[in-house]
């Protein structure tokens, strides 16, 4: 692969990514299709049993109308089970959580605007808030990177590390801190507080949230007392904002590593390749031109005299082939 040109390496990277995407899709089909079929068969069995037991009181058509209404409400976060209808999805805490999930592009999907006015406002709110959020995150990252770099440089100097190792030390420290504070600790906390969650579910929720994927199949604190629900919502809002900032800070630190930039440059393709012979000719001509120029003290500051200094009294230098 080292002997390949930039264009070939670029298309190879694109082909590998598409192959990875197709492979992932095939794995999801192989893993998720069997439980989906079992769940579908179980549901159909329950429906058949219910219709057999109540066919004299409830016709199949009326049952389908009821199920359709329940599923439509469920899609907007309104459940018909137990006492779930007592809590609202659009109180201030829930609305604040929805706004944060929109601006952080998490979008859990368990709550969505019902009215046309809400959908229109959500479009404008996201259109203005997302660019402003990107600017704010960029400014915060710059403000946080300076003291962090100074601290890591001080630690590296006292430990006798080479300056070239400082970026790697900073990336490793950030990665470990983010993993411990925003993945491991929250996952263990959710595992201990949510009765129906396993440890894998807690890690799954944290990673899906920090990566802004936000599938919405797990939301903590849904069955809590209203006061505890408020605390859960506020804690989740702080977790999203701080966790996303820490993750972006880590990604920016990793992207600035020399090895990462070299890897990106290895697969980059600008679309206008220039033969190496042409590049060597240009470099040789530029070097010859600069070497024939007198010292700066001999060149007046005007454009005319500067041009004459660069070209020399005998005209432009000969072209080197």
Q: What would the DSSP string read from start to end of 23-60? A: HHHHHHHHHHHHHHHHHHHHHHHHHHHHHHHSTTTS-H
Six-digit token string for 34: 């069997």
Six-digit token string for 125: 């709110």
Instruction: Indicate which CATH number applies to the domain containing 131.
Output: 1.10.287.70
Main-chain dihedrals φ then ψ at residue 106, nearest 5 degrees: -75, -55
The domain containing residue 249 runs over which residues? 89-269
* Residue 244 belongs to some domain of the structure: yes
* Residue 159 belongs to some domain of the structure: yes
Q: pLDDT band at 82, cuts 50/70/90?
A: low
Which tens digit of pLDDT belongs to each residue from 220-257? Answer: 877 666 677 788 888 889 999 999 999 988 988 888 88
The secondary structure of residue 140, as a DSSP letter, is H
* Residue 256 belongs to some domain of the structure: yes
* Residue 11 belongs to some domain of the structure: no
How many domains does one find in the chain?
A: 1
* Residue 73 belongs to some domain of the structure: no
Q: pLDDT band at 57, cuts 50/70/90?
A: confident
Burial 160-174 (b: 16+ CB within 10 A, else e): eeeeeebbbebbebb
Q: Is the pLDDT of residue 308 over 60?
A: no
Rounded-to-10 torsion of CA 38, 76, 120, 107: -60
Distances (CA, A) of 244 to 119, 133, 161, 207, 289: 25, 11, 30, 11, 51
Using CB atoms within 10 Å of the CB of residue 10, give its burial: 0 to 12 exposed, 13 to 18 middle, 19+ buried: middle
Q: pLDDT band at 2, cuts 50/70/90?
A: low
Using CB atoms within 10 Å of the CB of residue 253, give its burial: 0 to 12 exposed, 13 to 18 middle, 19+ buried: buried
Positive or negative, the Cα torsion across 121, 108, 77, 33?
positive
Q: What average pLDDT does the segment 214-225 reach?
A: 77
For tokens 């389908």, what's the residue? 64
Which tens digit of pLDDT belongs to each residue from 259-292? Answer: 888 888 888 876 554 455 444 544 444 444 444 4
48: region left, alpha or beta (phi > 0 left; psi from -120 to 50 alpha): alpha
pLDDT at 282: 47
* Residue 133 belongs to some domain of the structure: yes
The number of CA neighbours under 13 Å toward the Cβ of 97 is 29
Q: CA 109, CA 76: separation in Å to the nearest integer?
A: 8
- pTM of the predicted structure, to 2 decimals: 0.68
């Amino acid at each position: 692969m080292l002997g390949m040109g930039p264009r070939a390496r670029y298309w190879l990277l694109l082909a590998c990514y598409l192959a990875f995407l197709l492979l992932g899709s095939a794995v999801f089909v192989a893993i998720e299709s069997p439980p989906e079929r079992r769940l579908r068969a179980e549901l159909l069995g329950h429906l058949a049993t219910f219709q057999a037991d109540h066919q004299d009181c409830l016709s199949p058509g009326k049952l389908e109308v009821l199920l359709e209404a329940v599923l439509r409400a469920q899609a907007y976060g309104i459940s018909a089970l137990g006492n779930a209808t007592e809590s609202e999805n659009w109180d201030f805490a829930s609305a604040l959580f929805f706004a944060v999930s929109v601006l952080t592009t998490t979008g859990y999907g368990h709550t969505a605007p019902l009215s046309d006015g809400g959908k229109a406002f959500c479009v404008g709110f996201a259109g203005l808030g997302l660019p402003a959020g990107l600017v704010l995150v960029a400014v915060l990252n710059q403000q946080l990177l300076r003291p962090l770099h100074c601290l890591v440089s001080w630690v590296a100097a006292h430990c006798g590390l080479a300056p070239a190792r400082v970026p790697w030390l900073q990336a490793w420290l950030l990665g470990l801190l983010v993993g411990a504070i925003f993945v491991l600790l929250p996952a263990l906390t959710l595992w201990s507080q949510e009765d129906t969650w396993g440890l894998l579910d807690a890690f799954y929720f944290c990673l899906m949230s920090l990566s802004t994927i936000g599938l919405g199949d797990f939301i903590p604190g849904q069955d809590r007392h209203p006061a505890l629900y408020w605390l859960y919502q506020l804690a989740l809002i702080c977790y999203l904002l701080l966790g996303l900032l820490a993750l972006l800070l880590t990604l920016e630190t990793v992207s600035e590593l020399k090895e990462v930039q070299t890897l990106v440059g290895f697969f980059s393709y600008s679309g206008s390749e220039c033969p190496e012979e042409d590049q060597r000719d240009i470099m040789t001509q530029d070097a010859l031109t600069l070497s024939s120029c007198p010292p700066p003290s001999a060149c007046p500051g005007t454009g005319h005299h500067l041009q004459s200094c660069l070209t020399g009294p005998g005209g432009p230098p000969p072209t080197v082939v």
